[in-house]
Amino acid sequence: MPRKIIYFLLFLALSCLTMAGTKGRIKGKVVDASTGEPLIGANVTIIGASLGAATDVEGEYVILNIEAGVYDLKVSYLGYQTQTLKGIRVNADLTSYQDFSLSSEDISTATVEIIAKKPLIKKDATNAVRMATSEDIEALPVRGVNNVIALQAGVVRTNGAITIRGGRADEVGYYLEGVSINNPMNGGRAVTISQDAVEEVQVQTGGYTAEFGNANAGIIRTQLKSGTSEFKASFEHITDNVTFKSSDDMFDGEKRLGAYWYGYDETSFSLSGPIWGNKIKFFGNVNYQFRRDADPHAFPEVNIGMIGEKTPAEGGTGDSVNLGINAGPQRGGRDQQYTYTGTLTFDFNPILVRVTGTYTDRDADVMNNPIAGLENNRRSIDYMTNGSFNVKVTHVLSPTMYYELSGGYFESTWTREDQYLKDNYWAYGDSVANADAGVVFHRSDMDKTVASRHGRYATPYNKSIMGFTFVGPGSVVASHGKNERSNITFKGTFNVALGKIHSIRLGAEYTQYTMRSWAIGGQTALAGILDTQIGLDENAGLTEEQIKRNILINRGINNYGYDVLGNEYDGDGFMAPHKPIFASAFIQDKIEYEDIILNLGLRYDYIDVDNRQLIDPTRPETGVVKNTGELIDAGWTDSPTFSEVSPRIGISFPITDRTVFHAQFGKFVQQSRLRDIYQGYYRTSYEFRQSYAFLNPVGKDIKPTKTTQYELGFSQQLTDYISLDISGYYKDIKDQTIFMKQNVAADSPFSEYYTLTNGDYATTKGLEIVVRMRRNAGLAFNASISFQDARGTGSNPTSNAGIIGAPIDPDNIFVPKFVAPLDFSNSVTANFNVDYRFAEEEGTPGFLQNLGISLLGRFNNGHPYTRGRGVANLEGDQRGRIPVESLNASVTPSVFTIDLRVDKTFKLYDKLSANVYVRVINLFDTKVVENVFLRTGASDDNGYLTDPDLVANKVDQYGEIYSDVYRAINLDRYQEYRSATGNHLFGTPRQIMLGVRLEY
């Protein structure tokens, strides 16, 4: 066993098993209201829980080990009146400060109740920490955890992907209840989280402590709600069917109150309360979402009518189609999901147990080209599940010492299949099997002389009109595939407060994933190929299963964790599942003096990606048989492991109780997304044997990316209810993944091939300004503006693929050496939220009481792109486009939108209330330009119809109607741009939602 692993396991044993901190604490002082003298031995307890503390000789107290949430505190002392503080917010890993002044019982014998004020400054935060609590989230005009995250300073959302401070999307770490819920293959969050189950979302855009790792750009932490001391229930329903029409009218193309009806319905039910006094508490939420069109866009109406070609005798195809689609929502975009979330807390002090879990079951139609598939309503369906489950045990050894042990499990699955033949992909191209399933393949009536269009294994005939393809009725559009990803995590910490100064946390973490994947292209051809292969003399001695295996290997099967035929496989060798290991250990000391707070940490990371690579990359023949694609075990070796030590230093300077400076320095390491290194070995063999290289290159040995970050910040409470926060940062990012060419030995039977490796780098810097206004006289206000300059040699691993594939100098491998603005860099983003609540008090008219209005404004100045010109392919392969400017020199148009929520609460009974609201997304129906055509820089013109050299021959051949058809397909419906980049030209149009929420 390597010495580093032995040292790591020894440290693991010494420090137990770790978990990322999810607990906060309350700290303060209790004094005599008249004299200011400290009260020794005063009791400070959390109502409804066994947690509490007694004040020391200086009247100071600290309560540790508190889950994030809102609590009531009770302070009592013999001879003094008791005080109750209601609604103090505790945040994960931060301290809530609360002092008390008690009056003598001679002055008042009644218990005094105080409503806690939301603190404007967290003086113990040594880095930029932005939070949204359950109360904040509920009042916003938008729903969805990602929408809440995107409002935080330093966060940029481009084409649906969240990036932080100029890092790539896979460099953001996601945590739920302290457990990583990253998607290890692609990056992003792998677990669905119901908004109504969230207690707190915390975004740290950099400088997080040593207990967090494998996330170079920032971390997003979510805490779930806990059970309550009294039974509480809520029910909420939301719909965009604002005029309550029948579902038969779903696609009529009409607007309702100025917005299309996209078929959105959401229902959420929550229940919480105690089970055994306050010893056991539970919280549960069930959320159901249904969307008839899961990707709303304001598609215009297409009403061209019948178009067709000349008959074969006249030199055409004889095909015709009625080209007409209503505006608004699209068919074939159905998406529904159920999410179940629960928490259980067991308070058997000194043993505390917390059990949390969330599970989502989802199925969705895969949206097809709405015009190309005009006459084919056959769908492929995605079936998905994901879940995260965690058990955490806390043992309180003393008021200043405790340890935590936890175990967690994560799983996600995905399967895509045809709606009729399901996973029987061998039958996708068999007309008999399809007919048995109730689908008859479309055949051409105009040309019965072409044999390839007929017969049992001929796929449906696609119509061709004016050079545009329309998929024939009954065509199989699915390509069956599947994957499974799971992990098991063991964690724990040992936490001790040494006096009033040092709070030490140390521990370690061990996570092992199990990764499976299976995919193969061209599945409609398999049935015919199998029929032919079975009839060949050379296959006479083979079973049908052996023949199928050979077919799939020769067609590039991509499998691991499944055998070639798609059966789950747990053996060894090239088909084994990948089981990467991520392990870490850390020690963190939070040092708190009156005028300075230090966070000093050291982290050790160990990564084993469990992958294999060629011993000699210049000789693929040592690992692959050229003729058959079979694999040679002796030519492969295990990819090396990686380990790194990373220091973290954070400093906070509370100059006064209203002025705080902070500074941070840290080094971070993160394994790149696993999709960049994982590929079925038979697929790798297949790609080695091709004469062309633009397939799916991966790098079998990609080292982790390294980031160094510096941050300096300043927080100032301007008034009793307004604060200002300013943070500046600089980041240096190295060893990001890059696309490269691999040369082979001169006598190798294989050609050069393409791979991924380390090589890209980036530097980012920026400034973030946040203004917060605590609710005052009914008004609350939050605003932020972020300035960012993110530059690098590549925005993603294949940014330089075009110049590698079509090199200026074929004899030299091109390596980017100059930085340019990154695709996802927004130089300016800004958000503001104004929320006004009319109180239920005398003097307020009855119809205004408990009425709330919330406005959310969002601005970004667009993202960079490169103008280019081309003829063969206007927007697609970079090799067909010639840039006309330096890389990413242009910027898409800026965008500013307003969202609105208006709600009113009605008291129905003593404890039952109803909140009725209207929510409007994109209130003014702003045309949100997210992307442009790279040839023109416009969102409504790709340069084709306005270029006589390109379109003249087509118009001469088909007439002016050709321009109308082209515009409908490639402009009005955005298909050319989407097929080239996968991104929409326009964002979400106006949507109106009605909602009602009952609370008990």
Mean pLDDT of 274-284: 91
* pLDDT, tens digit, 9 for 90 and up, residues 581-609: 999 999 999 998 888 999 999 999 999 99
Amino acid occupying residue 214: N
Mean pLDDT of 694-723: 90
pLDDT over 90 (residue 360): yes
> Quick one: pLDDT band at residue 445, thresholds 50, 70, 90?
low
According to DSSP, residue 819 is labeled: -
Mean pLDDT of 301-319: 83
State if pTM tops 0.75. Answer: yes
Q: How far apart are CA 104 and CA 108, in angstroms?
A: 7
> Quick one: pLDDT band at residue 32, thresholds 50, 70, 90?
confident
Percent of the chain with pLDDT over 70: 92
Q: In the prediction, which pLDDT does 196 show?
A: 95
pLDDT over 70 (residue 20): no
Percent of the chain with pLDDT over 90: 57
* Closest CA relative to residue 518, chosen from 455, 547, 478, 561: 561
Q: In the prediction, which pLDDT does 116 show?
A: 67
| Least confident among 543-557, 659-673, 807-821 | 807-821
| Least confident among 386-390, 400-404, 957-961, 975-979 | 975-979
> Quick one: pLDDT band at residue 228, thresholds 50, 70, 90?
very high
Helix (H) or strand (E) holding 966: helix 961-967
Residue with tokens 């290991």: 581
Q: In the prediction, which pLDDT does 694 show?
A: 55
**Cα dist from 207 to 173, 203, 659, 703, 736, whole Å:** 13, 11, 20, 22, 20
Q: Hey, which bits of 136-279 come out as E strands?
A: 155-158, 161-164, 172-176, 179-180, 198-204, 218-224, 232-239, 255-256, 259-260, 264-274
Amino acid occupying residue 403: Y
> Quick one: pLDDT band at residue 25, thresholds 50, 70, 90?
confident
pLDDT over 50 (residue 122): yes
Cβ burial of 734 (10 Å; 0-12, 13-18, 19+) is: middle
> Quick one: pLDDT band at residue 23, thresholds 50, 70, 90?
confident
Cβ burial of 540 (10 Å; 0-12, 13-18, 19+) is: exposed
* pLDDT, tens digit, 9 for 90 and up, residues 883-935: 788 889 999 999 999 999 999 999 998 889 999 999 999 999 999 999 988 88
Name the range with the highest mean pLDDT among 95-99, 580-584, 749-753.
Answer: 580-584
Q: In the prediction, which pLDDT does 564 show?
A: 97
* pLDDT, tens digit, 9 for 90 and up, residues 608-657: 999 999 999 999 999 999 988 999 999 999 999 999 999 999 999 988 88
Q: What is the mean pLDDT of the chain?
A: 88
* pLDDT, tens digit, 9 for 90 and up, residues 980-999: 456 788 889 999 999 999 99
Preceding amide of 184 cis, omega within 30: no
* pLDDT, tens digit, 9 for 90 and up, residues 823-833: 999 999 999 99
Q: In the prediction, which pLDDT does 14 show?
A: 36
Q: CA torsion sign, 773 to 777 to 779 to 780?
A: positive
Measured in residues, the chain has a length of: 1000
Q: In whole angstroms, what separates CA 222 from the centre of its chain?
A: 13
Q: How far apart are CA 187 and CA 171, in angstroms?
A: 7
Mean pLDDT of 362-381: 88
Q: How far apart are CA 330 and CA 230, in angstroms?
A: 46
> Quick one: pLDDT band at residue 872, thresholds 50, 70, 90?
very low
* pLDDT, tens digit, 9 for 90 and up, residues 524-563: 999 999 999 998 988 888 999 999 999 999 999 999 999 9
Mean pLDDT of 208-225: 91
List CB contacts of 495: < 8 A, sequence separation 6 or more: 64, 65, 401, 402, 403, 404, 503, 504, 505
> Quick one: pLDDT band at residue 18, thresholds 50, 70, 90?
very low
Name the range with the highest mean pLDDT among 34-43, 452-461, 869-878.
Answer: 34-43
> Quick one: pLDDT band at residue 378, thresholds 50, 70, 90?
very high
Quickly list H helices, 400-475: 431-436
pLDDT over 80 (residue 81): yes
| Least confident among 11-15, 375-379, 661-665, 678-682 | 11-15
Q: In the prediction, which pLDDT does 312 show?
A: 74
Please work out, in degrees rounded to the nearest 5, the angle formed at the alpha carbon of residue 318 by the alpha carbons of 313 and 324: 160
Phi/psi class of residue 432: alpha, beta or left (left: φ > 0; alpha: ψ in -120 to 50)?
alpha
Residue with more model confidence, 693 or 781: 781
According to DSSP, residue 579 is labeled: -
Q: In the prediction, which pLDDT does 107 show?
A: 57
Q: How far apart are CA 254 and CA 242, in angstroms?
A: 13
pLDDT over 60 (residue 873): no
Q: How far apart are CA 480 and CA 380, in angstroms?
A: 9
Phi/psi class of residue 874: alpha, beta or left (left: φ > 0; alpha: ψ in -120 to 50)?
alpha
Q: In the prediction, which pLDDT does 975 show?
A: 53
Q: In the prediction, which pLDDT does 45 show?
A: 87
Per-residue HEC secondary structure of 872-936 comes to CCCCCCHHHCEECCCCCCEECCCEEEEEEEEEEEEECCCCCEEEEEEEEECCCCCCCECCCCCCC
pLDDT over 50 (residue 697): yes
* pLDDT, tens digit, 9 for 90 and up, residues 411-442: 999 999 999 999 999 999 999 999 999 998 87
* pLDDT, tens digit, 9 for 90 and up, residues 157-185: 988 899 999 999 999 999 998 888 999 89
pLDDT over 90 (residue 947): no
According to DSSP, residue 82 is labeled: -
Q: How far apart are CA 89 and CA 250, in angstroms?
A: 44
**Both tokens of residue 78?**
């013999």
Q: In the prediction, which pLDDT does 481 show?
A: 97
According to DSSP, residue 505 is labeled: E
Query: Strands 172-176 and 179-180, how do they pair?
Result: antiparallel
